Chain A
Amino acid sequence: MSINHDQLIDMVDKIPTFQESVHRILALTTSPDCSAKDLVQVIEHDPILTIKVLKLVNSAYFGLSQEVTSVNHSVVYVGINTIKNVAISVATTGALPKTNKAGLNMNHFWSHSLAVGVIAKLLAENKGVKKNEQANYFVGGLLHDIGKVLFAHFIPTDYQHVLQKAEADGIPLHQAEKELLGFDHSEIGAMVAEKWQLPSELISSIRNHHLTEEKDQSSLSLAIYAANQAAHYLALMTQALLDENDTEKTLLKAAIIDNDLPQSVKDWLGWPLAEVSKWLSNLDEEIDKALAFIDLSDGE
């Protein structure tokens, strides 16, 4: 059932190109005095993005007393800075297929992706990364696994086998992908990111998030790697608490994740995951809030 590179490219081709608009929003918003007019124009030229921005601004989170009906209206009402930040969040999560027949649980997928996004941003904050670059860490975390969604959407039967194998053999998903398909999700994910013309650092952070060999890695790549493992680590710790029979086995698995971090990631992180996880105590709360943005990908 292994697939070839052409098939991979074929799948990537079928993904909508979001994404001139996202690309332009990211580019526009890195400049501190981005023109409000330009930003509004980019959003308005993408009907889906427009709907989502409006949906979010009109959601309970903002608690506005009147309904906002156009992008211009939203700028007058809540200000250009707010709309800028809303657009970035909305744009980056919206372009993926919503359903799949492979049985990939999309709720798990998004909550893991969000966890990695939030953790990566917190790590960046902790490492003194500049505020305007922290958004990239969040986005990188959010998108690192998008390859999984493509596989699940385009080759559902094969991917079902992959999911089953990973489960049955107790191995990581990317390993099962490699064995059965010949490629893992980090490669196709990076290809989509390329197609979306995301910043090159983001592309490599997606490509490298399962790579164990040492090489020159940007701090973004190291952060996404660390955040991904931290999210898995935390999930195992929670599981250990809930599942009394297997506590020891689960704790051991977590310890192995911590221990097996590539040296470059360990060096960058400066702490074992066991320590890092202590200051991620209100992660669940953060993720709940971030979920408000993901809800937007339903419907419409």
Chain B
Amino acid sequence: MMIINLRGVRGSIPVPGKDTVKYGGNTTCIEITTDEGDTIIIDGGSGIRQLGNELMQQLPVNCSIFITHTHWDHIQGLPFFIPLFVPGNNIDIYGSFDPVYMKDLKTILAQQMEYCYFPVRESELNANIRYNNLKEGEAIRIGSATVTPILINHPVLNFGYKIESNGKRFFFTGDYEPPLNIYQPEDEEYSEYQRLINQQKQILTDFIQGVDVVVADCQYTREEYPSKKGWGHGTHDGCIEIARDANVGALYFTHHDPMRTDQQLDEIYRDVMARGDLPPTRFYTAMEGLKIEL
């Protein structure tokens, strides 16, 4: 059985409090336990802290952490992931080399742990940590599972991850805004650009065709979206389109805006479900602590 445990479903910043009890306040972190008991973690948002504490109950900890991108809400929990500090633990960290800032993951994390931000330095972490720079499309084998990254649109280089094990398939978009046409319809380049966008969408659709479960960024409603264009996040409607095109079994809306109360999330869900013409996909609002079994 593949178990997908949602450890953090917020975008941008953790928001604990009475209005976020039901869906949770921690930022992005997903724990996947494969049939064979391997632990794969996607992103190190604040949700990774509690996960780390639980993993510590059985030493040594062996796990692989895949980072979608290095925006704060996806790495801010890493310095508080206790298994990193304990000798004998084996932790593989995967992500993309940032060719623009010319930094690899180790550098980025070491900077996150500089003394002015944090009392322990990266070089003082005692676990066996290995950093691995991923290439798009290059699958990584973790026990019986494979994890394959695909580049998807966000203000920085950003991976979506597909995890496959014994015929079960799961996809996490990371942060994702479907690319927008930078031209106006009257511009000569408009149609060529649209063709490229469509081609890019097709690549994503093919990549996740028929997966069992998708957890996807839909920080904004369609009403909010026009004022948030280019910020790097998607909408419910965008997610529904992906689910339809790719025949997705179930889709969980995630990366909730930090402003959303539980009540608002429920309302938005009801609203979205009331739309006509939904594909046969089962839709849910991602909830912290929810375990999806495949």
Chain A contacts to B: CB under 8 angstroms: 35-37, 40, 56, 59, 61-66, 70, 72-73, 75-82, 85-86, 282, 286, 289-290, 292
Contacts and interface: CB of A to CB of B under 8 A. Distances in A.
B189 A72 contact: yes
Contacts, number: 70
Interface of B, helix, strand, loop or mixed by DSSP: loop
The 5 lowest CB-CB distance pairs between A and B, nearest first, are: A63-B135, A65-B137, A289-B102, A36-B182, A61-B99
A79 B157 contact: yes
Interface of B: 96-97, 99-103, 107, 133-138, 150-151, 153-157, 179, 182-183, 187, 189, 192-193, 196-197, 200, 203
B102 A290 contact: yes
Given A64-B151, A79-B156, A82-B99, 7 more contacts: A35-B182, A63-B97, A72-B192, A76-B197, A82-B157, A86-B100, A289-B102
Nearest to B154: A79
A76 B196 contact: yes
Contact of A85 (B100, B133, B151, B193): B100
A66 B207 CA distance: 13
B102 A286 contact: yes
Chain A facing B: main interface SS: helix
Nearest to B135: A63
Nearest to B193: A72
A194 to B, nearest CB: 29
B151 A75 contact: no
B113 to A, nearest CB: 15
A144 B155 CA distance: 31
B136 A75 contact: no
B196 A72 contact: yes
Contacts of A73: 196
B148 to A, nearest CB: 10
A58 to B, nearest CB: 11
B155 A79 contact: yes
A37 B186 CA distance: 13
Contact of B100 (A36, A77, A82): A82
Contacts of A289: 102-103
A120 to B, nearest CB: 15
A82 B100 CA distance: 6
A282 B138 CA distance: 29
A120 B8 CA distance: 39
Nearest to A89: B100
Contacts of A65: 135-138, 150-151
